Amino acid sequence: MTEERSVLGRSLLESGALTGEWRDAFEAVPRAAFLPDVVWVFDMDTGAAVEVDRRADPQTWQRYVDQDVPIVTQWDDGAGENPGGEATSSASMPSVVFRMLADLDAHPGDLVLEIGTGTGWNAGLMAHRLGHRAVTSIEVDGEVATAARGRLGAQGLLGTVLTRDGALGDPEGAPYTRLISTAGLRRVPPVWLGQVSPGGLIVAPWGTHYSNGDAVVRLRVADDGGSASGHFTRPVEFMKLRAQRRHFDGHKAYVSDGFGGAGRSTTEVTETALLGESRYDVRTFAIGLRVPDCYQVPAAARDGHRPVWFYGLDDRSWACVMFHEGRKADVWQSGPRRLWDDVASALHWWQEKGEPGYERFGLTVTGDGEHRAWLDGPEDAWPV
């Protein structure tokens, strides 16, 4: 084990991300064995991706893969070889991987269905602890699936890796006692509920189209198998299930002639009150739960001004709030939905509820596809 990997292991243990039951798997199944020669180390704060080639600089490559950082392994569904497009496959941060495995609460004897094989490292960790026959993994990309099978096989951890759309699950292998998704969701596919045993768990990154952020939801399947419900645990950000990527026609499809014809007003809401101070501020998640089919795009600040745009995904409604240094923000709205009014109302609701964190929110999904979010308990849920 490299010194960097030992340091990583100690750090994960001290933070609580790595629990004792997964320690042997961490030590026996190195992340490096599941990564290609060329990787892109992704900086979550800046969005920059640094290319590292093991063949040219093996020491730097090893140092990066043994750190708690996300690593991109594919761009544009395999069509792009360089950063600049959309990252479509990756190795998640080890801290995220092990916290989600802890949420899954899988034990020997459980059968696990994984959605999104990716590099194969997560499947390998589970196979080491639970047995390779206990893990079935699904990957939509044929080349990614083939590479993962090879890496799992080389480590003696190859279970079943299926090449198909993960939204379909695995009806032939069901029922499973656990299901974990390593792709971000906007809807929990109803068929998954029928493929997990009553009392079983579904752990997945879930969010709304309001932002790219997700939160890990831990759903317990009801005794009758007709629904699943549970709390969110923490914020994350995952590449989305291919069938559920946000479709956005672009700014010009909404705002073709500038602000002409839009209603204008001002707002007391400040930039910090709306956006918070971090990438994973819970207020963004909360607003998304209250304002369906809306996409928020904060633009860069320039000359003391910063616009934040809102686009309706079910019509051509749009809004823009322009923040200024030293004075009230201006607001423009157009279309049948008054998107800024909806966003401001959602923000005020979150503030009035005591600015609850992720862990106070929950989700209930049903076999017919209905999704309802809630705060503190499902008694007062609302559709999302």
Maximum distance among all Cα pairs of the chain, rounded to whole angstroms: 65
CA-to-CA dists, residue 313 to 129, 208, 246, 337, angstroms? 43, 11, 9, 11
The label of the residue with tokens 């069509």 reads 79
Query: How buried is 240 (Cβ within 10 angstroms: 0-12 exposed, 13-18 middle, 19+ buried)?
Result: buried
CA distance 254 to 315: 9
89, 90, 92, 181: the catalytic one is: 92
95 catalytically annotated = no
Active site (catalytic) residues: 92
